[in-house]
Homo-oligomer: A and B are copies of this chain.
Amino acid sequence: MNAEIIAVGSELLTPQRLDTNSLFLTEHLNNLGIEVVCKMVVGDDRSRLAEAVRGALARSEIILLTGGLGPTEDDVTREAVAAALGRSLVFRADLLEWIEERFRRAGRRMAEINRRQAYIIEGAEAWRNDNGTAPGLWVEHDGRVVILLPGPPAELQPMFLRECLPKLERWAPRQVIRTRVYRVAGMPESDLDQLIAPVYRKYANPITTILAAPGDIQIHLRARCATAEEAERLLDELGGQIEVLLGDKIYSRNGESLEVVVGARLRAAGATLSVAESCTAGLLAARITEVPGSSDYFLGGFLVYSADLKVRLLGVPRALLDEHGVVSEPVAQAMAAGARERTQSTYALAVTGVAGPSGGTDAAPVGTVCIGLADSTGADARRFRFPGDRARVRTVAVQTALDWLRRRLG
């Protein structure tokens, strides 16, 4: 069963505003096994909105409209939906009484324009609003249902939960949706897709979606079944094959971020971490400490943006800088070893590179990053070349450093 959500309001078409009610509604619809296949934002325009409702009715069983139920002239949702369904608006004396009563209780007199809110679409069920004057409406039509909800979240949410959700549960055939989110580091999107597409393409259910951010890919599996057990079985079946193909490139099976995964492993091992950052200049430490409680395993470290501070704060031999250059594996190695020694941490990560746009050399062109990792057995370093602009190079460098530590932690 499919649903569409139409948010009504010209203010939602400005550069400053987004419709967020649809997130709340989608979550609850998905839990009933109802898929949201289209979302729209339409301004306060009666004929445009009526056309949008007609289009949605031609495609989907459930249409939810949010907003445009106020008392003013530019609140057009009631009229537009009535027009789309070819029904009239009818006056409900009991609703007017209830609206007047609300005003009375608030010690105010109802303005004449609020009468408009007592008109409902012919044949609709009307819901009272605990936190406002706009009633919500439920209109069944040719085996479909059109639902009108007030726009303010404080009015929409309680009304949806109290009135709409139980009615939808009875109305829609029950289905269950279960999802699984894998996260993968250190692999370009196209390589990953080439590897796993032959597997996931065999399944129309679960649906597979791949989302790529710099250095970080999410694989979303979504199974839609009659029972939770069946959905989980399908996720295990497809997920199992993906896990075999990607192996330890998968760092999370539940959508957790890399800094959360690394943090949990450090904590479990009773280990601590320090950093020495040059081109990332704090970005690595800031990522690690996004996690509440990271002070349990993160000690601190060194920002050595200038060559001079690499020598003075970390004890990187000046001869090493002169011989290999600031962006080199020996320097990354020495930075990691220096940070570990000076902070007494179990592990230390070091990053030195050329994020660009300028500063590249023949030996280390823009995008070159060397990462060092030190532990009780010594210090290693690896050299990478990341594509993209300054921000992307720094982000991928952080991701790559964290992922190396994750693998080391096993």
Contact = CB atoms under 8 A, between A and B. Distances in A.
A303 B220 CA distance: 36
Given A10-B209, A44-B209, 13 more contacts: A11-B211, A14-B26, A15-B24, A15-B27, A37-B42, A38-B52, A74-B209, A111-B190, A282-B289, A295-B305, A300-B305, A300-B313, A302-B302
Interface residues of A, number: 115
A83 B342 CA distance: 64
Contacts of A114: 190
Given A154-B392, A286-B283, A309-B343, A37 B45 contact: yes
Nearest to A287: B282
B282 A390 contact: no
Contact of A304 (B211, B300, B388): B300
A328 interface: no
A356 B292 contact: yes
B295 A282 contact: no
Contact of A38 (B15, B41, B284, B312): B41
Interface stretch (A118-126, A236-244, A273-281, A317-325): A273-281
A113 interface: yes
Nearest to A384: B107
SS class, residues of chain A in contact with chain B:
mixed
A277 B282 contact: yes
A52 B211 CA distance: 23
A313 B313 CA distance: 9
Interface in A59-75: 59, 70-74
Contacts of A378: none
10 contacts: A10-B207, A13-B35, A14-B30, A38-B43, A105-B387, A111-B194, A275-B282, A292-B357, A312-B342, A313-B343
A290 interface: yes
Copies of this chain, tallied across the complex: 2
Indicate the member of A274, A301, A303 with the most B CB atoms within 10 Å: A303
B298 A154 contact: no
A190 B152 CA distance: 15
A24 to B, nearest CB: 8
Nearest to A24: B15
A242 to B, nearest CB: 15
A227 interface: no
Interface string A6-44: 000111111110111001101100100001111111111
A197 interface: yes
A245 interface: no
A363 interface: no
Interface string A372-410: 000000000000011111111010000000000000000
Nearest to A306: B299
Contacts of A204: none
A112 interface: yes
A40 B56 CA distance: 12
A189 interface: yes
Given A10-B207, A357-B292, A48 B40 contact: no
Given A11-B209, A74-B209, A282-B289, A342 B313 contact: yes
A199 interface: no
Given A27-B15, A282-B283, A154 B391 contact: yes
Contacts of A13: 26, 35-39
Nearest to A29: B15
A270 interface: no
Given A39-B40, A70-B189, A207-B10, A303 B282 contact: yes
